[in-house]
Chains A and B, each alone.
Chain A
Amino acid sequence: MATADKKTVLIVEDDEFLRSLAAKRLEKDGLAVKDAVNGEAALAAIKEQKFDLILLDLLLPGTDGFAVLEQARGIENGKEVPIVVFSNLGEKADIERAKKLGANDFLVKANFTLDDIVSKIHAYLG
C-alpha cells in the first residue's frame, strides 16, 4: 500500500503516555496517526481534514469528549467518520449518552489491550 493511501486515524487523548503508546501501536500497524490533546484541537483537526476513524477520549480538559461528539457530527468532515470512544468512564449512563451523541463504539480503556483496539479499528476500516 502506498504511503498516500494510508488510512488516517485521529487520536484524541489528553494523557501523553497513553497517546504516545496508542499512536506507536497504530503506526506499527501501518496506519497514519494524527493526535489532539484536547477537544478544541480535535474539532480544529476535524474541520481541516477528513479522517478514516477517530479514537476519542471523553474526559478532556475544556471541551470534553461528549461535546466533541456532538459538534463533530455537525462538521462536514465529521458527519460519517466512525468515532470509537475509548474512555475510562464506562457506566451505563455514559455509554448511552455517547451512543446517543453518535459514537459508533465504546471501549473502556482498561478493559482492552491495544491489540484489541487495533483489530476494532480494522473492523471499521474494512
Chain B
Amino acid sequence: MAANILLGLTLLVGGLLGFVLAKRTKHKTNSHHVVALANLKKSNGDLAAKTRALEAKELELTLANQRLQKLEEAKSKFVAVTTHQLRTPLSAIKWTFNMLQSGQLGALSNDQKTFIDKGAQSTERMIKIVNDLLKVDQIEAERKDYIFSPVQIEELVESVVFEFENQAESKKIEVSVKKPGKPLPTVEADPFKLRMVLENLIDNAIKYNRFKGRVEVVINDDNLNSTKNTVEIIVADTGIGIPAAERRRIFDKFFRASNAVAAEPDGSGLGLYLSRDIIEKHGGTMWFETDDTGTRFHLNLPLHQGR
C-alpha cells in the first residue's frame, strides 16, 4: 500500500516534472526559432545592406578608375604639349648660341666664348631632358602598342654596335660582339624598342668607361633549348661600376648613380628605367652585376611571346 502510494507519487511527480520539463523545452524550442528567425532576418538585412554597400563601392571604384584614366590622358597631353612648347624657345636659344659660336655674328673674345659655350651646354642639357620626357611619355602611352615581329638578334646587335663606332673611337674604346657558332632562331620582339634598349646600354657602356676600355656584347644561347627557352644578351664594360649603396635604385625613374653624374653631368636617369620596362614588356628579365672593374647588364628574352 505504502509502496503503491509511493509509486503513485513518484509517477505524479514524474509526470508533473515531465510536463514542466516538456513545456519548458517546448517553450525553449519556440524561443530558439524566434531568435534564429530574427537573426536570419537580420543577417538577410545585413547581407542586402552589404550588397548595396559593395555595389556602391564598385561604382565608386569604376568612377575612380575612369577619373584616373582621364588624369593619365591629361598628364600625357600636358607633357606632350609643354615639351613641344618648350622646344621652340629652346631652339631659339640653341640657334642663337650656335650663331655666336660659329662666328656668324662677329669675332668673340675668349671670355665671351667661354660663357657662350657654357650657355650652349646648359641648353643642350635642357633639350635632352625635354626629349627624354617626351620619350618616356611616348613609351608609356604606347605600352599597349608593342608590335612584335621575328627579330634576328645577331643582326640587331651588330647594327647597333656599328652605330656607336665613332663614339667608341673617340674614347679609344674597343667594342666587340661575341655570338654563338651557329645562327640563333629569331626572337619575337618589337625591333624598334629592343634597339632602344641596346642603344641605351651600349651608350652607357661607352660613356661610363675608362679611356682605352673595352665593351663586349655577348649573345648567349645557353638557355635556348631548356625549359626557359630564352636568348641572353650581355653588355659588359670595363667602366667605373655602380657604387654598392646605389645598386638597389639603379632602375628607378630619374635616378642616376653619383659616379655617373660626376663623369657625365648630362643625363636624365631614365635610360635604365625605360630599358627594363621594355624588356619586361617582352616577358623578359633584366639584371646586372657590377664591381669596380666594370658592369655587366644581362637581358633575357623569351623566344616567343605568350599571348
* B90 interfacial by beta-carbon distance below 8 Å: yes
Report Cα–Cα, A109/B94, bound state, in Å.
9
Report Cα–Cα, A66/B258, bound state, in Å.
45
* B304 interfacial by beta-carbon distance below 8 Å: no
B87 touches A109 (CB 8 A): yes
A25 touches B90 (CB 8 A): no
| Chain B residue nearest in CB terms to A117 | B95
Q: Which of B87, B99, B102 contacts A110 (CB 8 A)?
A: B87
**Chain A: how many interface residues by the 8 Å CB criterion?**
21
| Chain B residue nearest in CB terms to A22 | B95
B88 touches A24 (CB 8 A): no
A17 touches B92 (CB 8 A): yes
Report Cα–Cα, A115/B92, bound state, in Å.
14
A28 touches B131 (CB 8 A): no
* A71 interfacial by beta-carbon distance below 8 Å: no
A17 to chain B, nearest CB (A): 5
Instruction: With A110-B131, A113-B94 as known contacts, state yes or no: A15 contacts B88, CB within 8 Å.
Output: yes
Report Cα–Cα, A110/B128, bound state, in Å.
9
Instruction: With A22-B95, A114-B95 as known contacts, state yes or no: A109 contacts B102, CB within 8 Å.
Output: no
* A5 interfacial by beta-carbon distance below 8 Å: no
B88: chain A residues within 8 A (beta carbon): 15, 18, 88, 109-110
A9 to chain B, nearest CB (A): 16
Q: Which of B84, B92, B99 contacts A15 (CB 8 A)?
A: B92
B87 touches A18 (CB 8 A): no
| Chain A residue nearest in CB terms to B84 | A88
A115 touches B98 (CB 8 A): yes
* A125 interfacial by beta-carbon distance below 8 Å: no
Instruction: With A108-B87, A110-B90, A114-B98 as known contacts, state yes or no: A24 contacts B127, CB within 8 Å.
Output: no
Interface set, chain B 128-146, CB cutoff 8 A to A: 130-131, 134, 138
Q: Which of A22, A24, A89, A111 contacts B84 (CB 8 A)?
A: A89
Q: Which of B91, B96, B99, B138 contacts A109 (CB 8 A)?
A: B91
A22 to chain B, nearest CB (A): 7
- Per-residue CB contact flags for chain A residues 3-43 toward chain B (1 = under 8 Å, else 0) read 00000000000010110011011001000000000000000
A21 touches B138 (CB 8 A): no
A110 touches B98 (CB 8 A): no
Instruction: With A21-B99, A28-B104, A115-B102 as known contacts, state yes or no: A88 contacts B94, CB within 8 Å.
Output: no
B87: chain A residues within 8 A (beta carbon): 88, 108-110
Of B84, B88, B90, B138, most A-chain CB atoms within 10 Å: B88
Instruction: With A88-B88, A88-B91, A108-B87 as known contacts, state yes or no: A21 contacts B130, CB within 8 Å.
Output: no
A21 touches B84 (CB 8 A): no
A48: chain B residues within 8 A (beta carbon): none
Instruction: With A17-B92, A18-B92, A88-B91 as known contacts, state yes or no: A111 contacts B127, CB within 8 Å.
Output: yes
| Chain B residue nearest in CB terms to A109 | B91
B90: chain A residues within 8 A (beta carbon): 110
B95: chain A residues within 8 A (beta carbon): 18, 21-22, 25, 113-114
Report Cα–Cα, A25/B100, bound state, in Å.
11
Report Cα–Cα, A90/B134, bound state, in Å.
10
Interface set, chain B 169-199, CB cutoff 8 A to A: none
CB pairs A–B below 8 angstroms (8 shown) = A15-B88, A18-B92, A24-B99, A24-B104, A90-B134, A92-B138, A113-B94, A115-B102
- Beyond A25-B104, A113-B98, A115-B98, 6 additional pairs, beta carbon < 8 A: A18-B91, A22-B95, A59-B84, A88-B91, A91-B134, A114-B98
Q: Which 4 A-B pairs rank lowest in CB-CB distance, beginning with the nearest? A: A88-B87, A113-B98, A109-B91, A110-B87
